[in-house]
Amino acid sequence: MGKRKALMAGNWKMHTTAVDGCQLAVDVASACADFTDREVLLAPPFTILSEVSHILKGRPVIIGSQNVCWEEKGAFTGEISPIMVQAAGGSAAIVGHSERRQIFGETDELINKRLRGGLSFGLLMIFCVGETLEEREAGKAFAVLYEQIKKGLADVAAPDMAKVVIAYEPVWAIGTGKTASKEQAQETHAFIRGVLEQIYEKNVAEQTRILYGGSVKPTNVDELMAQPDIDGALVGGAALDAQSFGRIINFK
Ligand code: PEP
């Protein structure tokens, strides 16, 4: 099988308000050529999902939220529902980001609920996993990833995997300037694909896109994207700069 369609995603985290966010979105859209082999996704803060979607209407950019609740509506203070994301022009959501896990205490079980909830409304779900430096140094990276994947994908049926993208983001590489080497990233992506084959079947494992995240920059994107099991990138810091992200989405 040839390589899967790449997905280049920018996670803006808690940055940008309407004016700078819309400008950034327009500049990123301008950097998109007539791609056939890749897709571009932006995840702005909830507050400007509508504005960014509106300004990019008709442009080939997928809009996603940085998290999502499993319920349609109700007493869930501080949350955003899948239909709110869709009404704001979004069609995707990120779940399980390490900042949600580490700073806000989100568990594998909670992330699984979010993942299944988003899928039930038809969102494209970017499901993040990743080990800490301590875990990697203790030789536990694969065991930690196995656990996160197994629990995060609990009760997700094989057909729904068409709407799931996994993002491998080693916690030690996020926002630190340290990138996993291309060999480390490839080895881990191949491991994750093996876990998917074990949970589902070869077909599902081969079709699921696995993104790498952790200090992806214009200077390292080409070598990362040349790896057979790396199908895209989830980018934080460099996604806030249109020139850098423009180069990243135009990886060679
Ligand atoms: C991220 O937040 O998902 C991320 C990978 O951040 P950075 O690119 O800044 O390391």
Q: Which of 51, 97, 106, 135 is catalytic?
A: 97
Contact 99, 79 (CB under 8 A): no
Taking the C-alpha atoms of 225, 231, 234 and 240 in order, what is their torsion angle to the nearest 10 degrees?
Answer: 50
Q: Residue 2: what pLDDT?
A: 57
- Atom nearest to 94 CA in ligand 1: 3
User: For the chain, what are the domain ranges?
Assistant: 6-249
Identify the pLDDT of residue 3: 77
What is the tens place of the pLDDT at every residue in 112-151?
A: 999 999 999 999 999 999 999 999 999 999 999 999 999 9
Confidence at residue 197, expressed as pLDDT on a 0 to 100 scale: 98
- The list of the chain residues with pLDDT below 70 reads 1-2
CATH architecture of residue range(s) 6-249:
Alpha-Beta Barrel (3.20)
Distance from C-alpha of 237 to C-alpha of 235, rounded to nearest angstrom: 7
Q: Is 129 in the pocket of ligand 1 (CB under 6 A)?
A: no
In whole angstroms, give the CA distance from residue 188 to residue 142: 8
Q: In sequence order, which residues have a C-beta less than 8 Å from that of residue 9 and are 6 or more positions away?
A: 40, 41, 42, 43, 64, 94, 126, 167, 211, 232, 233, 234, 235, 239
- The CA dihedral of 196, 201, 202, 204, to the nearest 10 degrees, is -70
Strands 164-168 and 124-129, by their bridges, are parallel
* pLDDT for the residue 175: 85
Mapped onto helix, strand or coil, the DSSP state of residue 219 is coil
- Alpha carbons within 13 angstroms on the beta-carbon side of residue 152 total 30
* pLDDT value of position 177: 84
pLDDT at 141: 97
Q: Residues 51, 106, 131, 169: which is the catalytic one? A: 169
Structure tokens at 27: 């500049």
Planar angle of CA 53, 56, 61, nearest 5 degrees:
90
Using the 8-state DSSP alphabet, how is residue 152 labeled? H
What counts of helices (H) and strands (E) characterise the chain?
11, 8
Q: Which atom of ligand 1 is nearest to the CA of 237?
A: 9
Task: Give the CB-side neighbour count of residue 184, counting CA atoms within 13 A.
Answer: 16
Q: What is the pLDDT of residue 1?
A: 47
Say what the pLDDT of residue 226 is. 97
Among protein residues, the one with the nearest Cα to ligand 1's atom 4 is 236
CA torsion sign, 223 to 237 to 67 to 63?
Answer: negative
| Dihedral of the alpha carbons of 18, 21, 26, 28, in degrees to the nearest 10 | -170
Q: Is 169 a catalytic residue?
A: yes
Structure tokens at 245: 């992200």
CA 142 – CA 8 distance, rounded (Å): 24
**What was the pLDDT predicted at 220?**
96
Counting ligand 1 atoms within 8 A of each CB, the residue from 215, 217, 224 with the most, and so the one to mutate, is 215
Q: pTM value?
A: 0.97
Active site annotation includes 97: yes
Please state the φ and ψ torsions of residue 213, each to the nearest 5 degrees.
-140, 140
Mutate to test the pocket of ligand 1, among 95, 102, 168, 234 (most ligand atoms within 8 A of CB): 234
